[in-house]
Chain A
Amino acid sequence: MMINRDKTFKTALFICAAASALATLLIFGFLLVFGLPLFKGGQFFLLLGRPWAPGQGMYGFLPMIAGTAAISLLSLVVAFPISLGVSFFLHSLAPAALGKILKRLVQFMTGVPTVIYGFIGVFLLVPLIREMFENGSGMCVLSASLMLGLLISPTMILFFSDGFAAVDKKYIQAARALGATRVQTLLFVVLPNAWRGLMTGLIMALGRAMGDTLIALMIAGNAVNVPSSLLDPARTLTSHIALVSAADYHSMEFKSIFACGVTLYLLNAAAVIAIRRFGAVGKDKAHV
């Protein structure tokens, strides 16, 4: 009886896992099928380089790839040290009561709708950047990256904190008994052994940064140029898809957004693979 129940449970879990994998493949397939007219005859690769000028029959989205890469990577650069610091504080330095309140606050922040961050960006950050640098409208790569950094930090903090909490307590006890300070324990014992949590946090945060539409749409400026400075406006792949999706359903312009989706999908996958590879190398080095 028990064996049968176990088997049913295992089968149910397998179905859930298979459905999840299938959904991912179906989404990719869906994007490929709808973008088919542009993939025929190798046009897809032209799209990666050409400028975006639908009036002249050019549907390239290199500026959007550059915008996505610049904004999401910069947001990661902003969010990583903040998240690491907050996670360190929560794990080892904060008094228990304060730590609990802070963690609740961070959990709450993960649930704040993106549009709220967008509003704060439009009404607070953009004017600030505009006045500080006196160069352009303030709607630029820097504004979007800072706000996106704030958006992805709570996700990173929660994954980092869980990674730190999963480190075997006996390692921490060993280090403390040998005279390690709390900071030394964090740097030499907790951090190297929380590698998996750190990598997962980075991947999740990068995925969220690359996939976010609203913040870039509201405060990045949406110019179809490859940005050459942090104060240049830029357009990301996601905000480009959102902007172009209002075009005529049968137009080439509309069909190009599916190719855009495939590119975003592949960029995301490449970033995840890169982080995993880097993570595996870092983990090996940390443990020799």
Chain B
Amino acid sequence: MDNSIIKITDLHFSYNGLKVLKGVTHSFEKNTLTAITGPSGKGKSTFLTTLNRLWEDVPGAALQGCVELKIAEKWRDVYASSMDIAALRRMVGMVFQIPNPLPMSIFRNMAFPLKLAGVKEKDQVQAKVQEALERAFLWDEVKDRLHSSALELSGGQQQRLCIARALILEPMVLLFDEPTSSLDYQAAGMIEDLLVSLKESCTVLMVSHYLDQVSRIADSRLELADGKLLLSNISR
């Protein structure tokens, strides 16, 4: 049985004429954690943004090929004109290298995606905020200061807040762009545990430079080299 959730076929990507991806073809299975490794500046982060169309905000970028997402057991072309980009980004969440909480309270950061999605019912918002913060192992640390600025949190807490914020929309796929590279060892460890736990509910793609981290938590590893994704071994 085909357990894939993302199917990429002959994907090409260029930035101001520079070819970054050259005919990438790959499928990602549901509820797995795939690590994408490779040298810096070779398009790993760009590859992630081709899955939620975030690259479209960058002037001078161009894409060719096909990216499909299995929604309700049907394959949908991510780049079809009928695809609602906002809805796509709710299904394919993304967490960045540098934690990026918005300059507002912890609660408002968490409620922000729900506000965008049109969820207004207060009790529902509060319940979802608590649930997402609990899933990100952050609830106990912030429950007494939900209305304090999110910028007052430590780096690791900010990153867990960003993960919780992405989780609140219950995405099918979560993209992580080097989520621990700006954190200390302890905070990185917490994020790793969190990433492993997320596999139960969604498919995780993670760009990482740390092969030891990949060997600890990833199910498979893809190496991006010369614009192509190659399946690589994980040494445990």
Which A residues fall within an 8 A CB radius of B? 96, 170-171, 173-181, 184, 188-189, 192-193, 287-288
Q: A170-B98, A175-B102 are in contact. Are A180 and B93 (CB under 8 A)?
A: no
Indicate the member of B87, B93, B100, B165 with the most A CB atoms within 10 Å: B100
- Chain B residue at smallest Cβ distance from A184: B116
Interface size of B by Cβ–Cβ distance < 8 Å?
32
Nearest CB of B to A155, in Å: 27
Fill in one digit per residue for B145-178: 1 if any A CB lies within 8 Å of its CB, else 0: 0010100000000000010011001000000000
From known contacts A179-B87, A180-B86, A181-B86, infer whether A193 and B52 are also in contact, taking CB-CB under 8 Å.
no
B102 touches A174 (CB 8 A): yes
Q: List 18 A-B contacts (CB under 8 A).
A: A170-B96, A171-B100, A173-B54, A173-B57, A174-B100, A174-B102, A177-B54, A178-B169, A179-B85, A179-B87, A179-B89, A179-B90, A179-B116, A180-B86, A180-B116, A181-B86, A188-B115, A288-B108
List residues of chain B with CB within 8 A of the CB of A178: 89-90, 93, 112-113, 116, 165-166, 169
Indicate whether B59 reaches chain A with its CB closer than 8 angstroms. yes
Q: How far apart sit A188 and B103, CA to CA, in the bound complex (Å)?
A: 11
Q: Provided the pairs A96-B59, A176-B57, A178-B169 are in contact, do residues A287 and B104 lie with their beta carbons within 8 angstroms? A: yes
Query: Who on chain B is nearest to A174 by CB?
Result: B100
* B98-125 near A? 1/0 per residue, CB < 8 Å: 1011111100100011011100000000
B96–A179 CB distance below 8 A: no
Question: What does DSSP make chain A's interface, helix, strand, loop or mixed?
Answer: helix
For A180, the chain B residues whose CB sits under 8 A away are 86, 116
Chain B residues with Cβ below 8 Å from A179 are: 85-90, 113, 116-117, 169
With both beta carbons as reference points, the residue of chain A lying nearest to B94 in the complex is identified as A177
Q: Across the interface, do B96 and A173 meet the contact criterion of CB distance under 8 Å?
A: yes
A188 proximity list for chain B (CB < 8 A) = 112, 115-116
Roughly how many angstroms separate A95 CA and B81 CA in the complex, as a whole number? 20
* Chain B residues packing against A (C-beta within 8 Å): 52, 54, 57, 59, 85-90, 93-94, 96, 98, 100-105, 108, 112-113, 115-117, 147, 149, 162, 165-166, 169
Contacts of B115 in A (CB 8 A): 188
Docked pose: A179 CA to B96 CA in angstroms: 15
Contacts of A287 in B (CB 8 A): 103-105, 149
Contact B102 A189 (CB under 8 A): yes
Q: Is the CB of A176 within 8 A of B54?
A: yes
CB distance from A121 to the nearest CB of B (A): 40
List chain A residues, Cβ under 8 A from B85.
179
Q: Roughly how many angstroms separate A192 CA and B102 CA in the complex, as a whole number?
A: 11
Which residues of A sit under 8 angstroms from B149, Cβ to Cβ? 287
- Chain B residue at minimum C-beta to C-beta distance from A193: B103
With a CB–CB cut-off of 8 A, which chain B residues contact A177?
52, 54, 89, 93-94, 96, 166
Chain B's nearest CB lies how many Å from the CB of A172? 8
With A178-B165, A179-B169, A180-B116 known as contacts, the answer to whether A173 contacts B87 (CB < 8 A) is: no
